[in-house]
Amino acid sequence: MIPDNNKKQVEVEEEVKSKSFSLFDPMHFVHRLLKNWYWFVILGMLGYAISYFYSKYYAQRVYESYLSLSISNNTASYFTPNQSINFIWGQTGNQDGVYIKKILMSRSLNEFLVNKLDLYTNYTTKGLLKETYLDQDDSPVILKIDKTHSQQVNYQITLKPTGADKYEVILPEEGESTSLYNYQTESYQNVSPYKRPANKIIGINEWYTSPNLRFKLERNPNPSPVKFDNIKVTLVTVNTAVNGIISSLGVKFDQELPSIMIISKSGYNLNGTVRFLNIAIEELIKKRLEDANTVDKNTLDYLSKNIGEVRAKLDSSSTKFNQIKVDNKLYDISNLDAKTYEELKKLEADRAALISKMKNLDQVRNVVSSNNIERIINISSAGIEDGAFTASVSELKALYAKRREMATIYTPDSEPMREINRLINEARNNSTNGLRQYYLKFDEQLADINSQVQDIDKQLYTLPEKERQFLDAQRGYNIIEATYNTLLSEQAKAQMRIVSNKSNLTIIDKAKNLGQGPIAPNVKAIQSAIIGGLLVIPLLLIALSEILDNRIRNIKEVINVTKIPLLGVIGKNSDDSNLSVLERPKSSIAEAFRGVRSNLKFLVDESKSSKVILITSSISGEGKTYNSMNLATVLAISGKKTVLLGMDLRKPKIFGDFKFNNKNGISNYLTGEVGLEQIINATQVPSLDIITSGPIPPNPSELLLGERNKKLVEALRQQYEYIVIDSPPVGLVADAFEIMKYVDATVYIVRHEYTEKYMLNLIKDKLAKKEVSHIGLIYNDYEAKQGYGYGYGYGYGYGYGYGYFEEDADYKEPGIIKLRNEIRKLFKRN
């Protein structure tokens, strides 16, 4: 790894610009995860405890019951579309089933059920931790409100049994409202302020009255055998109850037989879902039968009215006809051909029936044109069997129902109301257009009959006057009689349909409580989400800290990015003294500095009698002075005459560790106050001298960049083999770069997990621009971590760990350092 000649150094410098540090170190991230394993264990256990507590004592179980329903095609009316509509409209599928689904999910049906079953009353019971929902049949008593009295909704009423069919009514300590709900008008009303009603004990069928409530308790005829310490009742608005039911209903069709519906109801109480489904479908079956009979009842009422009117005309015509017979003493017309008379009689009967149909058709058209579609009569009374018209009327009725629901939410001029009105007009026009074709057909038939009757009338002009009077009276009677008979026939058909009608819905399987387990919540999913969510917290925090932490940790990455050759790796110094080589020459750190000393030959020209080595770093705190002192010491111990210069005039440190007086130093020499001999300090190592920085001057940069400083180095070259310069950090001041111009080699200090990656950009750029040369790198303060390696090794013994070197084994750590290291070891165990 260490380049052996200048040529390779130059080639390396050309590649520096293309390299950059990685934003994220996966290996270090994994190490951090392993290092903080205890957080994952703690949070995992905490997540399990939270999920267990939540699912057992807090989460409400949701149950679901099912009911299967068969839809047959044995009935059809305007209000119940049949399968033939699918073919007329070019559609496929279970159109009638879709219509039933719409009814089930409609507000009108569910509002009816809410009021009938008192579903605006919710029952619960409170245990030690959890509140459990009850069905009305689970409660020993049923709360019945007085709908004429305004009630406060969303206000929990507690019923506490006191024995002997007595219950104490306990109201909340606060929360009384002056806005009360009226169940008759389904609207809110404001009342005067009032004090909180006092608790009161009431019995069965005894009314409880307060400014915001009025109800009584009725004994449940089939109460649950389970005894409850308390019953909590909460009233909600009808609208809230309806919306809750609609959102909990589900309808699916059997894939093999679409005429079978699977209806589901979910809720917090299984018995409540079962009771609702069974009652709801029973009411739906009744409603379907009512719908099936509605048209025929309308037809029967319409026909009955017309029959009465025609009967009166028939009686009047009969009287007139008989009078003519008596006055003219004529009971038959012998001169009239029997065949001609029968033909005339048939034509007039046909014309009477056709006129009756057209009148019925007028009634249908008038109802369609109005908003009262429920009053429509059966078009079969007009001689029409038209599935398309039936479908259009069914659609029109559904749109009217939809508009009534929307009118409770939207204003008349709102966009949704304008759209529903447009759809109603479109459906009404479709129905009217269908009828128009029958009008044209009936007009053609009536014109043809009238033409034939006129031809026969021409033959009758030859009859005598009395016979013509007799024939006219007889014809009038026959026409009215034919109309009367037609109406009687249609009446009989309508009565027969009412008698034979039955609902096309049949329950296959009723909803039952079979002990079904809850469908929600998904305990495993909740447990996984809670545990996973807590485990993600440290994972994200560590990942975020890794991304935001720009410190250098990877030796190999530093070498690859900067292309500065590595001189050595110095381990963590746990001693209070910085003179590691001098005080512990057999330690691993001392051995690491000997490795650096050996690698210096690759940076400097060994043929020179004196070599100047500058030690610098990016910022203070990276171990620049520490490495300067120990490198100078290891050079001196090897027999090389060495001098260490403290040229960091802004922050002098060397004198303290060597216990020298810093009164006179480089700053004094550069200002001309003292001579060279006065600033050189001998150490206990015979070959090592120290020149301290001296007092901090006001102009350190000018002194260091002056000619006298250059002459100082040249003078020292005459006396020493190695001159080690502890210079200022390059990331803070530019002094070190100027000093580099007259040194033989530069050693750059990078401290493990301290030096920021961006700090190396400056030296990288200088190297790329060839402004610096003969530079090597020391990776300082490195601590090997178990299970985490950098994939880079040298064999200098800097894999840090006590016990390998003699003095490491005998070394006794200071108390505070030992305590710190023991704590670190505890949290770094895998």
Q: Tell me the pLDDT band of 455, cut-offs 50, 70 and 90.
A: confident
User: Which pLDDT does position 795 carry in this prediction?
Assistant: 34
Q: What share of the chain is helix, strand, coil (3-state, %, to 5)?
A: 50, 15, 35
Burial 334-371 (b: 16+ CB within 10 A, else e): eebeeeebeebeebbbbbbbbbbbbebbebbbebbeee
Q: How far apart are CA 277 and CA 512, in angstroms?
A: 9
User: Which pLDDT does position 6 carry in this prediction?
Assistant: 53
pLDDT > 90: what percent of the chain?
29
User: Residue range 164-190: average pLDDT?
Assistant: 93
Residue 37: is its pLDDT beyond 70?
Answer: yes
User: Which pLDDT does position 451 carry in this prediction?
Assistant: 87
User: Residue range 257-265: average pLDDT?
Assistant: 91
User: Residue range 393-402: average pLDDT?
Assistant: 75
Among the ranges given (178-187, 235-244, 436-445, 536-545), the one the predictor scored with the smallest mean pLDDT:
436-445
User: Which pLDDT does position 182 carry in this prediction?
Assistant: 93
Burial class (CB in 10 A: 0-12, 13-18, 19+), 318: middle
Strand, coil or helix: 163: strand
Among the ranges given (367-381, 462-476, 509-523, 532-546), the one the predictor scored with the smallest mean pLDDT:
462-476
Residue 454 tokens read as 């006129």
Residue 453: is its pLDDT beyond 70?
Answer: yes
Sign of the dihedral defined by the CA atoms of residues 683, 686, 688, 692, in that order:
positive
Strand, coil or helix: 448: helix
Q: Tell me the pLDDT band of 86, cut-offs 50, 70 and 90.
A: very low
Residue 357: is its pLDDT beyond 50?
Answer: yes
Residue 497 tokens read as 């349909």
User: Residue range 436-451: average pLDDT?
Assistant: 85
User: Which pLDDT does position 47 carry in this prediction?
Assistant: 92
Residue 308: is its pLDDT beyond 50?
Answer: yes
User: Which pLDDT does position 88 carry in this prediction?
Assistant: 32
* pLDDT tens digits, one per residue of 644-698: 998 888 888 888 788 888 888 888 888 889 988 898 999 888 999 999 888 888 8
Residue 717: is its pLDDT beyond 80?
Answer: yes
The pTM of the whole model exceeds 0.85: no
DSSP state letters, 107-158: HHHHHHHHHHHTTTEEEEEE-SS-EEEE-GGGSSEEEEE-TTS-B-SS--EE
Residue 162: is its pLDDT beyond 80?
Answer: yes
Local structure of residue 55 (DSSP, 8 states): I
User: Which pLDDT does position 586 carry in this prediction?
Assistant: 86
Q: Looking at this protein, which amino acid is placed at residue 747?
A: V
Strands 745-751 and 611-617: parallel
Q: How far apart are CA 685 and CA 626, in angstroms?
A: 17
Q: Tell me the pLDDT band of 784, cut-offs 50, 70 and 90.
A: low
Q: Which residues pair with 187 in a beta bridge?
A: 182
User: Residue range 93-97: average pLDDT?
Assistant: 64
Which uninterrupted H or E stretch holds 691? strand 688-691
The residue that leads in pLDDT, 322 or 394, is 322
DSSP state letters, 293-323: HHHHHHHHHHHHHHHHHHHHHHHHHHHHHHH
Q: How far apart are CA 563 and CA 764, in angstroms?
A: 8
User: Which pLDDT does position 790 carry in this prediction?
Assistant: 39
User: Residue range 156-174: average pLDDT?
Assistant: 94
User: Which pLDDT does position 470 carry in this prediction?
Assistant: 72
User: Residue range 396-416: average pLDDT?
Assistant: 78
The residue that leads in pLDDT, 622 or 321, is 622
Q: With CA atoms as reference, report the closest residue to 538 among 87, 47, 7.
A: 47
Residue 734: is its pLDDT beyond 90?
Answer: no
User: Residue range 433-456: average pLDDT?
Assistant: 83
Identify whether 521 is preceded by a cis peptide bond (ω within 30 of 0).
Answer: yes
Residue 255: is its pLDDT beyond 50?
Answer: yes
Euclidean distance between the first and the last CA atom of the chain, given in angstroms as a whole number: 33
Please report, to the nearest 10 degrees, the dihedral formed by the alpha carbons of residues 347, 350, 352, 357 taken in order: -150
Q: With CA atoms as reference, report the closest residue to 647 among 684, 692, 584, 602.
A: 692
φ and ψ of 442, to 5 deg: -65, -35
User: Which pLDDT does position 14 carry in this prediction?
Assistant: 53
The residue that leads in pLDDT, 8 or 279, is 279
Q: How far apart are CA 326 and CA 469, in angstroms?
A: 12
Task: Give one word for 370, left, alpha or beta, with left for phi > 0 and alpha for psi -120 to 50.
Answer: beta
* pLDDT tens digits, one per residue of 607-645: 888 999 999 988 888 889 999 999 999 999 999 999 999
* pLDDT tens digits, one per residue of 58-83: 888 899 999 999 987 654 455 554 43
User: Residue range 746-752: average pLDDT?
Assistant: 92
Q: Tell me the pLDDT band of 808, cut-offs 50, 70 and 90.
A: very low
Sign of the dihedral defined by the CA atoms of residues 727, 728, 730, 734, in that order:
negative
User: Which pLDDT does position 244 carry in this prediction?
Assistant: 94
Q: With CA atoms as reference, report the closest residue to 463 among 452, 473, 451, 471.
A: 471
User: Residue range 199-222: average pLDDT?
Assistant: 94
Strand, coil or helix: 547: helix
Q: How far apart are CA 279 and CA 514, in angstroms?
A: 18
Mean pLDDT for the chain?
A: 81
Q: Tell me the pLDDT band of 520, cut-offs 50, 70 and 90.
A: confident
Q: Tell me the pLDDT band of 85, cut-offs 50, 70 and 90.
A: very low
